[in-house]
Structure 1
Amino acid sequence: MCGIVGYLGEKNTKEILLEGLKELEYRGYDSAGIAVLQEGEFSNYKAVGKLKNLEEKTKDFITDKFAVGIGHTRWATHGKPTELNAHPHLGESSYVVHNGIIENYAKLKEDLIGNGIKFLSQTDTEVIIHQFEKNLKTEADEFKAFSKTISELEGAYATLIVTKSLPDTIFFAKHGSPMLVGINDENEKFFASSDSPLIGHAKEVNYFEDGDYGYVTKNEIKIFDAQGKERQVNFIPLKVDKLSAQKDGYRFFMEKEIYEQSDVISDTLLGRLSDDEIIFEELDTKLFDGINEIKLCACGTSYHSALSASYMFERYSKVRCSVEIASEFRYRQPIMNKDTLFVVISQSGETADTLETLKMAKKAGLKTLVICNVDNSSMVREANASILTRAGIEKGVASTKAFATQVTVFWMLSLYVAKLKNSMNTQELKHQINLLREIPLSVKVTDEMHERIKRLSKRYLHGHGFFFIGRDIFYPLALEGALKLKEISYLHAEGYPSGEMKHGPIALADPELFTIALLPQHLLYEKSKSNVEELSARDSTICAISALEFDKADDFIQINQCKDYMLEFFEMMIVVQLLSLEVSIRLGNDVDMPRNLAKSVTVE
């Protein structure tokens, strides 16, 4: 959510900034803007809505000399999505862009207003630039004014400032929100919230640590830590394939990413399966010494993968497992025992609530592990150990392949722990490993399957809601199916355990209530079937997903016959993803950038 780009160099600054913002569109935004300082003068453009509106506004703006520029895509937190609230924000002679939330902005704003400063926006960000310019009047130079300003801010932020008095400088600071700087052989400098805007421009990148601040000029990069001590720049090669960030003929990135799941799961499994054991070279087995409980903590889709994992850890590893919603866990004063392995899950590795729970666990002395898709992310750097899911760039806001690879990693990890704890015999372990090898085939999307779901989707565009229901590990999948549908179609959907319907929700059953029933052949089929029959008897419209035909269903989506319920899990995952996709497309929605949502949630 929210995206930052910055550039210092002699090329087409406007185009570099706009291209960078386009690469950050997947994070979610409702307005965008750029500010360019060229030959001592600022040019500033803002627009509400899609980036094409900003492109239209800047079509006659030319940048062909040395310039410094900053850009931003905003996801509204303080103040509505308007041009005045869009970044960059202006002071008397400076501009700022900012991701995160300044928690003490109200107090700073009150003091600034008392000093005669007039605010144009409703945002927390605007206080940063006015505070900076206030400090310019009392400090010896611009960098000291910037340093003092950063020390006065509370909350989470990644921020860039440019000012007229230093036309070849960009000031930066990072605390809690992601940001990196890149360089190339031409000594150009690039800033961004993630790798993708830098691909094709920067050759090497430095990922900032929390508390880092400093400045870049034509000739130098200066980084200071939270204590004000200068530290070495740590450049590493930027190795990302830009082709993976293109649609390749698919209608939406989400559709492409559903189809990619077979390949990325193969990558997730690569080098981690032998005939009779799971191999995680990145893990030290001592991580599990003295561990009697695994606590999983995440948000959104990652929370659903964690719920799925809890069934596998207790069933296969025989280790007590609990699952926490990160935004709740942070504030409830939880009991944290040192015999607990604390595992956080995040696609981006930057999710604010989850990152803070990780810091809490470390402070409490717990061993920590992160399951993540992004190397060098904040969580990967913070945790004792990490497992990368290898899902590649995921640009659709509604996560698909991240969920699939997370569940795959957890299946492997539960077997890895099972071997360490001697809780599974060798024959069963070999059987489970052979099942893992079959996942890539299970998630291949066939034309026949997709066409069936596309045709069926036209029957599910109205009504007063959806129930996705499943038992056991299919309950988290029901939650995930409901989340996918509500995220991109804006239709009301809820996930429930099948057996819970009779404890209240069944009161809603009627022909306009659509029930998406997950009926695995190899796990509690008869019990789940009975629950669906209860809904059918009350005239709910039933769409059954199963390998076995169900005569009480109004619609039936048949999956392949599978050897095990876990393979059924992955086949049904594909079905609910495609169903959500096709319903949303029929409703005319922007599948990749649903309203009000952001890809990387870096605020509370």
Structure 2
Amino acid sequence: MCGIIGIVSTRGVADRLVDALKRLEYRGYDSAGIATIAEGRLDRRRAEGKLVNLEARLKREPLPGAVGIGHTRWATHGVPNEANAHPHFAGGVAVVHNGIIENFAELKAELVAAGAEFASQTDTEVVAQLLARLRREGRGTREAMAEMLGRIRGAFALAVIFEDEPETIIAARNGPPLAVGEGQGEMFLGSDAIALSPFTDAIRYLEDGDWAVVTRDGAEIRGANGERVERPLVRSVGKPFYVDKGNHRHFMQKEIYEQPEVVGHTLGAYIDMTTGRTRLPAGTAVDFAGVRRMAISACGTGFYAALTGRYYFERHARIACDLDVASEFRYRESPLDDVDLALFVSQSGETADTLASLRYAKAAGIGTAAVVNVQESTIAREAATAFPTLAGPEIGVASTKAFTCQLTALAALSIHAGVARGALSGEQEAELTRALSEAPRLIAEAFRLEAQIETLAHQMATYRHALFLGRGSSYPLALEGALKLKEISYIHAEGYAAGELKHGPIALIDETMPVVVIAPYDGVFEKTVSNMQEVAARGGRIILLTDEKGAAAAPVAAMETLVLPTMPDILTPIVYAVPLQMLAYHTAVHMGTDVDQPRNLAKSVTVE
């Protein structure tokens, strides 16, 4: 959600700013722009839409300068157009911003009353206008920055350049991530390590409340109280993991096909394949023997992984689990007196509501852990333990490989916890780990369904609504399958526990309603197929995901049956996720939507 880049150099920066912004496209955006200082004068180029539009503008109107900032904007305040695109200018000040200035309306009214003329509808321009006014009143750049930070409220990452201090970028963070990169005779600023990876792997992450003065010679970082602080230098993994689409049409398709490999990597971190025993990854530590109750929280696809994790932990470890969407957990003031561990699931490790929930749990004195894909992220750094998912960078906005890696990690952790608590024997542990070790092969087998799914997608694209049904650990998959379809095809879809069909959704079913039923031949298969009969009786168009036994035992004919390999219950959420991803993908491709960057969505939701 929005991306920031800044470079302080001795040579032109425009091309490099745009290159870095391309690496931030996965975060989601609807406009982009860069600003530089050349010969003591600020100048900028902005464009609505994709970065190709900005590149075309720069080709027509090159932008010189060795110091600059850039931004990809995801609209919050004001429509997505060039006037609202960043950077914003006012009185010799240029600002880019990720986040929301909560008190912008009162500040704007004050500034307008003092004579300021606003050129945009954004909350960000308030920052530029306030800084410009403070400079006119005689404050120096650092003094003005400190006073401005004391007046704004909200979540923000900021990068500012001043026309009369042409070799400096001043940055600040309160919520959304921001990192300073160190180069040879030049310095960098970025929203994440991937943005900085072409330039450096030596990075310092700003903490909440920090602000930094960045010059070619280094960065002076100050904390919320204005005192000089040091932030550790880390070596980023962004550089070796930078990816492109390769031979695939979209990043999402590539990431679907990467799942056998990355699920295998994740399994290797949690299971010793030679002994069949689970283990905690290096650098992590949780004594599950003492955990009787867990609070689990996440957002979006991560929440559906967490919901599956609750099934795993309660079944294998006999740990009672409370589960909340993070945006509710952080506000409902849940008492945590009897909670032994709070667990948070996030791909990016920067999701604002999940981070706030983590901090709520820490403030309550609860032990914390996170299942996170980005080990350098804020959530990974602030949790007492960060369990990795080794999915690598996920560029497509709709999560695929990160989801299955989250499921894999949660499944392995639940087995480890079950052994620690005495709920599983060594023999049961070995049986479950053997089952998990089959996940990469079974995912690869699921790819054989692609031609059938692609044909089905042409029909799916003719509908405007869809239902997804499942029981047990297939219920979270129903939710996730519906989310994927609506995220990228814009078809309205809802996921339900199959037992809830008669409690409302059945009223929607007729011959224009496809119903995707996720029903492996397991202990609840007969219950689920009874719901299939109810759908068929009302003319619903059934798409059945099952195995050979399930296909043979299904009592009614389906519009389409996708037959997957037979597998143990622990594997079905991981493997059955793949055909659901492919169904959403091919439906969206057939409909001509922007698969990797669907409208209105961002990869990492770093503000509320």
Give the shorter-chain TM-score range. over 0.9
Query: Could you tell me whether the CA contact under 8 Å between 1:559 and 1:571 is conserved in 2?
Result: no
Q: Is the 8 A contact 1:170 1:215 kept in 2?
A: yes
**Counterparts of 1:143 and 1:30 in 2: how far apart (Å)?**
32
Which secondary structure state, in structure 1, belongs to the residue aligned with residue 374 of structure 2? coil
Q: State the Cα distance separating 1:453 from its structure 2 match.
A: 0.7
TM-score, normalization: structure 1?
0.97
Aligned partners of 1:2 and 1:542: how far apart in 2? 40
Aligned pair in 2 of structure 1 residues 553, 55: CA closer, same or farther (>3 Å)?
farther
Deviations 1:439-459 (A, max 9, x none): 111111666411111112111
Tell whether the 8 Å contact from 1:443 to 1:574 is kept in structure 2 after alignment: yes
Matched position secondary structure for 1:7 = strand
Q: 2:591 pairs with 579, 587, 598, which one? A: 587
Task: Please list, as runs of the form range in 1=range in 2, the aligned pairs for 1:27-42 lying within 5 A after superposition.
Answer: 27-42=27-42
Q: What displacement does 1:271 show? A: 3.9
Displacement of 1:63 after TM fit? 5.0
CA distance 1:417–1:447, change in 2 (3 Å): closer
Aligned residue in 2 for 1:254? 252
> Match for residue 566 of structure 1?
570
Give the superposition deviation at 1:235.
Answer: 2.0
How big is the shift at 1:57? 1.0
Match for residue 320 of structure 1?
A: 320
Q: Note the alpha carbon deviations across 1:478-525, whole angstroms, 9 max, x for none.
A: 000000000000001000111111111111111100001111112311
In the aligned structure 2, how far is the partner of 1:597 from the partner of 1:113? 32
Residue in structure 1 matched with residue 81 of structure 2 by the alignment: 82
The 3-state SS of whatever aligns with 2:166 is strand
What is the deviation of 1:397? 0.1
How does 1:255-270 map onto structure 2 within 5 Å?
255-270=253-268
Match in the other structure for 1:277? 277
In structure 2, relative to structure 1, the CA distance for the partners of 1:569 and 1:289 (3 Å cut) is closer
1:345–1:448 Cα change, 3 Å: closer
Q: Cα deviations across residues 183-235 of structure 1 (Å, max 9, x unaligned)?
A: 22x22211111111211211311111111102111223100111211122432
Contact 1:467–1:516 (Cα < 8 Å) also in 2: yes
Which amino acid is the alignment partner of residue 83 of structure 1? E
How much does 1:372 deviate? 0.4
* SS, match of residue 481 in structure 1: helix
Deviation, 1:569, is 2.6
Question: Does the aligned pair in 2 maintain the 1:205–1:238 contact within 8 Å?
Answer: yes
Tell me which residue corresponds to 2:375. Answer: 375
- After TM superposition, the structure 1 stretch with the greater mean CA deviation from structure 2, 361-370 or 272-281, is 272-281
Query: Residues 270 and 413 of structure 2 are in contact (CA less than 8 Å); yes or no, is this contact kept in structure 1?
Result: no
In 2: Cα distance, 1:446 partner to 1:366 partner = 40
Partners in 1 of 2:375 and 2:180 — Cα distance? 16
Encode CA deviations 1:267-306: one digit per residue, 9 max, x unaligned. Answer: 1111421324311144665544643211111110000000
Contact kept, 8 Å, 2:241 with 2:392, in 1: the verdict is no
5 Å matches for 1:439-478?
Answer: 439-444=439-444, 448-478=448-478
Paired residues of 2:193 and 2:237 also in contact (CA < 8 A): no
Task: Please report how far the alpha carbon of residue 163 of structure 1 lies from its aligned counterpart in structure 2 after TM superposition.
Answer: 0.7
Q: In structure 2, list runs of 5 or more residues that go unmatched.
A: none
* 1:71 aligned partner: 70
Task: Give the match's secondary structure for 1:58.
Answer: helix
2:120 corresponds to which residue? 121
Give the counterpart of 2:600 among 584, 589, 596.
596
Contact kept in structure 2, 1:296 and 1:321, CA below 8 Å:
yes
State how 1:335-484 maps to structure 2 within 5 Å.
335-337=335-337, 339-444=339-444, 448-484=448-484
Q: Could you tell me whether the CA contact under 8 Å between 1:559 and 1:572 is conserved in 2? A: no
Partner SS, residue 72 of structure 1: strand
For 1:56-67, list aligned pairs within 5 A: 56-62=56-62, 67=66
The 3-state SS of whatever aligns with 1:78 is coil
Q: CA deviation at 1:138?
A: 3.9
Q: Quick one: which amino acid aligns to residue 137 of structure 1?
A: R
Q: Distance in 2 between matches of 1:286 and 1:461?
A: 46
Name the SS of the counterpart of 1:81 in structure 2. Answer: coil
1:509 partner letter: I
**Residue 544 (structure 1) aligned with residue 547 (structure 2):** no
Structure 1, unaligned runs of 5 or more = none
Mapping for residues 511-530 of structure 1, pairs under 5 Å:
511-530=511-530
Closer, same or farther in 2 for the Cα pair 1:233/1:299, shift >3 Å?
closer
Q: 5 Å matches for 1:160-171?
A: 160-171=159-170
Partner in structure 1 of residue 105 of structure 2:
106
2: distance between equivalents of 1:496 and 1:33?
A: 42
SS of corresponding position for 1:32: strand
C-alpha contact (below 8 Å) 1:544/1:553 kept by paired residues:
no
Q: Which amino acid aligns with 1:108?
A: L
Structure 2 CA distance, aligned partners of 1:69 and 1:480? 41
Are 1:53 and 2:57 counterparts? no
Counterpart-to-counterpart distance in 1, 2:215 and 2:445: 50
Residue 447 to residue 349, structure 1, CA distance change in 2 (3 Å): closer
Deviations 1:117-166 (A, max 9, x none): 11111111111111112222345521111111112221111000001110
**2:157 equivalent in structure 1:** 158
1:338 CA displacement: 5.2
Q: C-alpha root-mean-square deviation of aligned residues, in Å?
A: 1.6
> Aligned equivalents of 1:10 and 1:559: distance in 2?
60
Report the alpha carbon displacement of residue 244 of structure 1 after superposing the two structures with TM. Answer: 4.6
Compared CA separation, residues 191 and 468, structure 1 to 2 (3 A): same
C-alpha distance in 2, partners of 1:82/1:70?
19
- Residues in 2 aligned to 1:132 and 1:361: alpha-carbon distance in whole angstroms: 36
Q: Confirm or deny: 8 A CA contact 2:470 2:519 kept in the other structure.
A: yes
Q: 1:195 aligns with which of 186, 193, 196?
A: 193
Query: 2: CA distance between counterparts of 1:365 and 1:395?
Result: 35
Alignment of 1:90-239 (within 5 A): 90-138=89-137, 140-184=139-183, 186-239=184-237
Say whether the 8 Å CA contact 1:309–1:407 is kept in structure 2. Answer: yes
Does the CA contact (< 8 Å) of 2:446 and 2:579 recur in 1? no
Residues 38-68 of structure 1: per-residue CA shift (max 9 Å, x gap): 121222111111111111111134456x521
- Residue 95 of structure 2 aligns to a residue whose secondary structure is strand
Q: 1:85 to 1:62 in 2, by over 3 A?
A: closer
The 2-side partners of 1:209 and 1:445 are apart by 44
SS at match of 1:99: strand
State the AA in 2 paired with 1:523: G
Aligned pair count reads 602
Moved more, 355-364 or 515-524: 515-524
SS of the residue corresponding to residue 344 of structure 1 reads strand
- Alpha-carbon deviation of 1:537? 1.0
Select between 554-563 and 568-577 the one with higher mean Cα deviation. 554-563
Evaluate the alpha carbon distance shift between residue 445 and residue 27 of structure 1 in structure 2; reply closer, same or farther with a 3 A threshold. farther
Task: Percent identity, please.
Answer: 39
- The answer to whether the Cα contact below 8 Å between 2:33 and 2:45 also exists between their aligned partners in 1 is yes
For 2:210, the aligned partner's letter is D
Q: CA deviation at 1:387?
A: 0.4
1:575 maps to 579
SS of 1:600 mapped into structure 2: coil
Give distance in 2, aligned partners of 1:220 and 1:572: 50
Aligned partners of 1:105 and 1:127 also within 8 Å? yes
Residue number in structure 2 paired with 1:533: 533
CA shift digits 1:12-53 (9 cap, x unpaired): 311111111111111111111111111212221111111111
Contact 2:375 2:386 in 1 (8 A): no
Are 2:157 and 2:177, in contact at CA under 8 Å, matched by a contact in 1?
yes
Note the 1:7-18 alignment, pairs <5 A. Answer: 7-18=7-18
In 1, distance between residues paired with 2:339 and 2:465?
43
Q: Distance in 2 between matches of 1:581 and 1:131?
A: 45
